[in-house]
Amino acid sequence: MPAEGVFSCALTIKSDTRYLSFLRQWVDAAAAAAGRRLGGRARVALKLALVEAVDNAIFHAHGGDGRIPIKVEITFRDDEATVQVVDTGRGIGHPSKILPGLMSDHGRGLFLMRSMMTSVRSRVKDGRHSLRMKLAI
Amino acid sequence: MNIEVKQQGDIQVMHCGGSLDADTVTSFKKVAYDLVGAGSTRIVIDCANLTFIDSMGLGVLISLLRRVRQRNGDVKVASLSDEVKTIFEVTRLHRLFEVCADWNTAVRKFDK
């Protein structure tokens, strides 16, 4: 059971980009259910981090195989929100905070997660990769 | 996402609504690249109704800019929402693209 004052919500989706719009609405709904009024930048950070992590799971971890499930979870505590995405990939190591060249048309996903969130942790255990991102709110 | 293209002289204005993300990037790319393929080199992306953009959306905008600049043209973006503006600023794309207050202003800047 979650501790008192903690609101947590989890769901499982397939590896399909059609869920992205739903997931962004889900962030707003979870924040409202947790009784949190998020500032503009926090809302952007949580939605972007979740979408980028799910993009990474769909295209890199699962190679576009729509049958493979992705577990997503969002948790609100007093001064912190956590987004976690679990896939079956090999992990992303240490997400770079170095911005790719301005004219490069790829490589910004990990940078955005690292830049927008307070902390990003990638962990692989028992064949499952967990990307856990925290934001001070 | 929904995209409506309107021509202003030799300038193509892409009025975009919804989100430009991994789910919609292919349809955006098709419309934009068709414009370039037909000879358009002056393009305005009107983001007044664009609510979200992710790294794949940013990637396709940069790819479009590269194609157009290779043909001595340009892409300007207009009417960024606060959310999209934040993402542009974090990735410093506001230094790569000319960001205009609205699409009319962007069209006028092409004409200068």
Q: Residue A23 and residue A49: Cα distance in Å, rounded? A: 11
pLDDT value, residue B104? 97
- The angle, 0 to 180 degrees and rounded to 10, between the axes of the packed helices A40-56 and B55-70 is 80
Asked if residues B47 and B76 have their Cβ atoms less than 8 Å apart, the reply is no
Tens digit of each residue's pLDDT (9 = 90 or more) over B37-79: 999 999 999 999 999 999 999 999 999 999 999 999 999 999 9
| Minimal C-alpha gap between B52 and chain A (Å) | 9
Residues of B in contact with A108 (CB under 8 A): 55, 58-59, 91
Chain B residues within 8 angstroms (CB to CB) of chain A: 19, 21-23, 52, 54-56, 58-60, 62-63, 65-66, 82-83, 86-87, 90-93, 95-96
Give the chain A residue nearest B21 (alpha carbons): A20
Best CA proximity match to B19, nearest among B3, B38, B8: B3
Within 10 angstroms of residue B30's Cβ, the number of other Cβ atoms is 11
Spatial distance between the Cα atoms of A79 and A6, rounded to a whole number of angstroms: 10
CB-defined contacts A:B, below 8 A: 74
Look up the ipTM and state it: 0.91
Q: How does pLDDT run along chain A (137 residues), one tens digit per residue?
A: 555 689 999 999 999 999 999 999 999 999 999 999 998 999 999 999 999 999 999 998 899 899 999 999 999 999 999 999 999 988 877 656 677 778 887 789 999 999 999 999 999 999 899 999 999 99
pTM of the model: 0.92
Q: Chain A partners of B66 at a C-beta cutoff of 8 Å?
A: 103, 105
Alpha-carbon gap: A48 to the closest alpha carbon of chain B (Å): 7
